[in-house]
Amino acid sequence: MLGRILVFLGGLLVLILFAALIVPYFVDWSDFRRDFEMQASRVLGKKVEVAGDVQVRFLPFPSVTMHDVRVGSDANGKPLATAAQFSMDAELAPFLSGEARIFKMELDQPEINLHLNADGTLDWLKTGQSDLAARNVVFEDVEVRGGTVRLSDDATGHSRVISDITATLSSTAIDGPWHMDGTAALDGYSGTFTIQTGRPDPASGQMRLRASLVPDAWPVAADLEGDVALEEGKPVYNGDFRLRVETGDDADTDTPPPPRASGKFTLSNASLSLPSYRLEIGSRTDPYVVEGEGHFDTSPGGEFLLTANGQQFDVERLSEGSTSGGKSARVTGTSARKRLDSLISFLRGIPIPQVPGKVVFQLPAVVAGDTTIRSVQLEAHPDGDGWQIEKGVAILPGRTQVEASGRLTLGDNDNTAFRGNLLVASQQPTGLANWLTGNVAPEIRQITRAGFSADVVLTRDSQKFNNLEIIAGDASLKGSADREAPEGQVPKLALDLSGNVIDYSTLSALTGLAVGNDVKSGLAAHAITAKLNADTLNAFGVSANGVSADFAVQAGSVTVNRFDARDIAGATVEISGQAQSGIGGNDGLSGSGRVHISAADPSAFLALLDKQLPSHPLTGMLEDHAIWYQDTDLTADLVFGRDGQDLSALLSGTVNGGKLNGSWRLKNLGQLAGMTGQIQLSNPNAAVIFGQLGFEPLPLPAPAGAQLSLNVDNVGADGKGDVTFRLASGDTSLGGKGRVALDAADFLDGSLSLTLKSPDLEPYLAMNTLVVPGTGFGLPVDLSGTLDVAKDHFSLSALSGSLAGNAVSGRLALARNQPVARVSGALSVDQLDLDWLLETVFGPDAADISAGASDAPIGKAYFGTGEADIDLQAASFDPGLMEPVTGLSTTVHFRGGGLELDKISGAWLGGTLSGALRLGNNDGSGYVQTQLNIKNGDLAGHAWRVDGRPVIDGRFDLGLVSETTGGSLKALVDKASGSGMLTLKNPTVNGINLDIGDQLLTWATGQGTEIRNEAVPGAVASRLFGDSSVQLGKVDIPFSLSGGLLQARNVIVDLPMAQLYGGLSLNLSDQTISASLQTTLKLGDDEDNGASPDFTLNFSGPLATPQVALDTTDLNNFLSLRAVERERRRVERLQADVLEKQRLRREATLYQYNDDQRRKAEEAKKAAEEAARLAAEEAAAAANADGKNGAAAAGELPAAGGANPPAAGKAAQSAQTEPAQPASN
């Protein structure tokens, strides 16, 4: 193209030159026209003809104007150059020196016809040569208006036209240097130009040419500088070029400079070669650089080749100008459609060479907006209005390699198309999806690789993929896909795919990449037909194996011709049917279908339903008890939308050897309001029905099969409906009727009236692991009550009836949503026993503790970790000891295997019972704590009896505190410890006579001195036991409990006739007693003989029937000693009698002697007294006569009348002091 422009400019210069040469030198004013034509022809080397008028004037300066000037002719006789008008003004003075100075020249509508011969030579040069000296003419101002240059090239067959040339020229000589400025249009593309030339080099024939070209259609400017020469008659232009983008005078100084290019070029009529070029974009200090070479061969059959190797390439910078911002600038993400339109718009703006050729690009990256395409390789040939791509390779976002080959048509929007082979392979699908749609579907995140290859036909409104092979993760699909979206019509999508894995979500997401940003709405707007065959189909979180499907979806209408899945979570599923919306003015779906499901083990399938369906306790129960739904084979015939909203289903089939039938209807899809339905289940194995209802039955045989019927009706907007059910097995039945909630949030909340009847419920309880203590021999039941279900509890009120003939009434409540089962309430029963409680806590080995404590390890508590707080009333409570407690009232607490009877009250043993009892089981380690009090108990009714008569009568108080621990019941008994007090209040002991002391002594006396030991017990027993009784008074008996042994010691009762001393030892383990009662008789004076009159009653053996032994050892000793003492006393009495007689005789003799002595002494005394009197009289007389002499005479003289007075006194004294000696025998 540049060569043609230069040819045009050269012809124009020639025309100007010949006009300038003619006028100053060949003016013949007499025949000017003829001479002008002749001289001009000589100067130009071509015939010049002036066909129009000629005007000449000389003042004030020479001026010539000619019209219709023609120069030369081609082989066809067509002029080589023409001008509608030619005028020039010259100065006269320079003519004197032989120089022509043209200060003004005008050319109107000049036209030059240039012709390149088949060999590439310029035809103009073959028509003659100029012989005028070029340096003798000066052009100061030459103006060209409306010029045209036509170039025809026989070598290529192409023609080019430069039209609307408006320019100004100047030169100091005809051979230059020339300066030209102006505007023109090349083949209709207008622009401005500036041309500067040098002078031709006579030696080489080359001329320096510099040109600046600025097209109006593009904001670019081209600067060319080089040498123009004729090589073998062919014009050739060699030099350097520079291209730059024009930004305008008001460009922001902060904006990076526009793209610019420079390089070498060689231009001829046959080719344009770019031996090297350099494209720079961005900063001048650190620009983006693309380097390469190009060759454009314009000869017949010629081709072009353009190569590019560069750095990152920004399409938008080329198409729209550079963008502002630095590294932090961020381009807003756009849709895939906009990106594609932007890229196509850019490609459409690139001129397509209309000659054969090849474009080879190798760029590290191409940037288009927010898109970076890396490792771009392109080999393409121009092909009419598009490109034939031999090889196109690029790496898109997401490490996605794209390979394409085929034809790219770049017409208008409707005609843009690509037909060929396309391969897309992404190693990071998330990045690709984010680039294409602006978001990443969760399904895309799950795959690590994705791609496809296909023979494609891609247009704006149609995408066809034949021989399609899709890879998504481990999935591999083959088939075809066809999407058509004509404007104003419903888009259509047809899929025919087969492979190992079809993932619906992934396939949908991948399809959505082509459909648009909103995948779901995009697909919903399509009419879809699909045929799918896959080893595995993953859809909506469900995996199905062995899938064959044929379905269509369009405008809310769905038709499933066939959907067969050999394995959906272990189940075979077959679906067929059709549904459509908008029938009869309704927006709801209407249609019908059939679903058939069969599964040998539906566990996984039910788990799948629970996961996929909206959360509901019913689906969770089905999943948890799927084992009871084995061998399921069900068919559901569906009719929905009969009135635009409702769904009806008829169910039939078999489940785990039983039958299932039913019907169900929803008036509003997705709502419970108005729902009705009924289901019947039957099975010869009752355990199966229990399992299907959510219990955990054991595989135990039941007396009969089971049947369940369930009816639901009148479901309101609140989700509650009327429910009636009946579960029956033989003569056992459970029925209920009431109104309960059926929605997920409040499932089963409501109230039901229940009845339960069974001749023996025990097998069903055992089957459901609800073993109740004491039910091993049958449990007839007849109960009724009202069950209220709330969010936090189950409440059974108005409970009444009988259990095993035991009347029961009351209320119970079971807490819901608690870590452990927690029961509360109040119960009233006719009978209760301690064995039942023990079995509840310590396991079945504790069922009959009265038979003896077992040494087997303690079992588990029946109710495990359950908890209970129940107010209990029992008309009769059997503690396993003596008689039942009547009117028992207590509060039962059960915690962690421990049972507590708190606030016990009742009547027991004829008195009032109070206290507490605690039983515990800590993983096999048991404990018992007891605190009992009995007030005013009756001794007579509970003591031993002899001959039907109680041993003891009276009242008593008893207090007991005990505790024990152990790993078995025997250990619990053996380790029992505690203490207590038994108070006997004025008891009467019957059949005993303790007032037998005198009788025994009399008997013993009668036995003489020899008392046989073996005779004593009989003598005692015959007198001790009888119809008599003993009143004891108040007796306090403290006792202790240690090591399972109850002991009472040092019990003393003091009675008038005897003292009682007793002790007791009771072994709780074997219920044996060892006791003794020592009786010490009070015998008065007979007690003091060195022995005690004791006898002992010893009790031993079983507590209920102890053996009584009478021990009279001490009494034997006492009586023997008494007999010896009596004999000793008899002998002593005999001896005493003899001695006494001897003493009496001696005393008699002594008394006689003493009497004699007293008489003699008396007589002597009288004689002495008389003698003394006489002597005194005599002395007094003498004293009177002579006091001193008389007294001395009286003392010295013996008394008158006594022969020997001193001797008589001594004799009397001796008679008084010495006893009388009895006479000897």
Length of the chain: 1225
pLDDT of residue 356: 79
Q: Are 691 and 719 in contact (CB under 8 A)?
A: no
pLDDT for the residue numbered 338:
67
Please give the model's pTM, rounded to 2 decimal places.
0.58
Sequence-distant (6+) residues with CB within 8 A of 313 are 288, 290, 363, 365, 366, 367, 376
* Cα–Cα distance measured from residue 123 to residue 39, given in angstroms and rounded to the nearest whole number: 22
The stretch 245-266 carries a mean pLDDT of: 74
Each residue of 313-322: pLDDT tens digit? 665 554 444 4
- The pLDDT confidence band at residue 466, using thresholds 50, 70 and 90, is very high
Angle, in degrees to the nearest 10, between helices 1205-1217 and 1113-1185: 160
Q: Are 233 and 125 in contact (CB under 8 A)?
A: yes
CB–CB of 572/629 below 8 Å?
Answer: no
Please give the helix or strand (H or E) that residue 1158 lies within, else none: helix 1113-1185
The three state secondary structure string of 846-883 is HCCHHHCCCCCECCCCCCCCCEEEEEEEEEEEECCCCC
CB atoms within 10 A of CB 213: 21
Radius of gyration, CA atoms only, the chain: 72
**Could you tell me which residues are beta bridge partners of residue 1054?**
1059
Task: Give 727 or 697, the one with higher predicted confidence.
Answer: 727
Structure confidence at residue 192 as a pLDDT band (50, 70, 90): very high
- Check pLDDT > 50 for residue 934: yes
SS3 1216: helix
Q: Quick one: what percent of the chain has pLDDT higher than 70?
A: 83
Which of 843, 696, 838, 862 has its CA nearest to residue 771?
862
Is pLDDT above 90 for 854?
no
Distance CA 373, CA 393 (A): 10
| Bridge partners, 976 (sequence order) | none
- 1103-1153 pLDDT, tens digit per residue, is 888 998 999 888 888 888 888 887 788 888 888 888 888 888 888 888 888
Residue 1105: beta bridge partners?
none
pLDDT in tens, 815-851: 888 888 889 999 999 999 888 888 888 877 665 555 5
Please name every residue paired with 1052 in a beta bridge, in sequence order, or none if there are none: 1061
Q: For 888, how many CA atoms within 13 A lie in the half-sphere containing its CB?
A: 29
Helices (DSSP H) in 747-803: which residue ranges? 762-767
Taking residue 581's Cβ as centre, other Cβ atoms within 10 Å add up to: 16
Determine how β-strand 492-503 pairs with β-strand 527-539.
parallel
The maximal CA–CA distance of the chain, rounded, in angstroms, is 266
Alpha helices in 954-996 (DSSP H): 969-974
Candidate ranges 212-216, 326-330, 1192-1196, 1198-1202; pick with highest mean pLDDT: 212-216
Q: Report the alpha-carbon distance of residue 807 to residue 823 in Å, rounded.
A: 20
Residue 575 and residue 593 in contact, taking contact as beta carbons nearer than 8 Å? yes
Distance CA 280, CA 290 (A): 7
Confidence check: pLDDT of 588 > 70? no
Convert the pLDDT of each residue in 335-381 to its tens digit: 556 666 767 776 776 767 777 788 887 878 777 666 777 888 889 88
The one-letter code for the residue type at 977 is: S
- List the single range of 250-264, 638-652, 1110-1124 with lowest mean pLDDT: 250-264
Indicate if the pLDDT at residue 324 is higher than 90: no
What is the torsional sign of CA 1129, 1134, 1138, 1140?
A: positive
Tokens of 1217: 């002091």
Domain ranges of the chain: 2-216, 821-975, 991-1111, 1147-1217
CA pair distance 66, 36, nearest whole angstrom: 10
Give me the residues paired with residue 245 across strands.
220
Residue 1210 is predicted with a pLDDT of: 43
Alpha carbons 888 and 914: distance in angstroms, whole number: 10
pLDDT computed for residue 1082 by the predictor: 86
* CB atoms closer than 10 angstroms to residue 472: 26
pLDDT band at 1205 (very low <50, low <70, confident <90, very high): very low
How high is the pLDDT of residue 574? 93
Is 368 in contact with 315 (CB distance < 8 Å)? yes
CB 811 within 8 A of CB 824: no
How far is Cα 696 from Cα 690, in angstroms, rounded to an integer?
A: 7
Query: 195 and 179 in contact (C-beta within 8 Å)?
Result: yes
For the chain, count helices (H), then strands (E).
20, 60
Instruction: Round to whole Å and give the CA distance between 1111 and 1094.
Output: 9
Q: What is the pLDDT of residues 79-99, one digit of tens each?
A: 888 888 888 887 766 655 656
Mean pLDDT of the chain: 81
- The residue with greater pLDDT, 521 or 289, is 289
- Pairwise CA distance, residues 4 & 2, whole Å: 5
Residue 413 identity: N
Higher pLDDT among residues 156 and 398, named by residue: 398
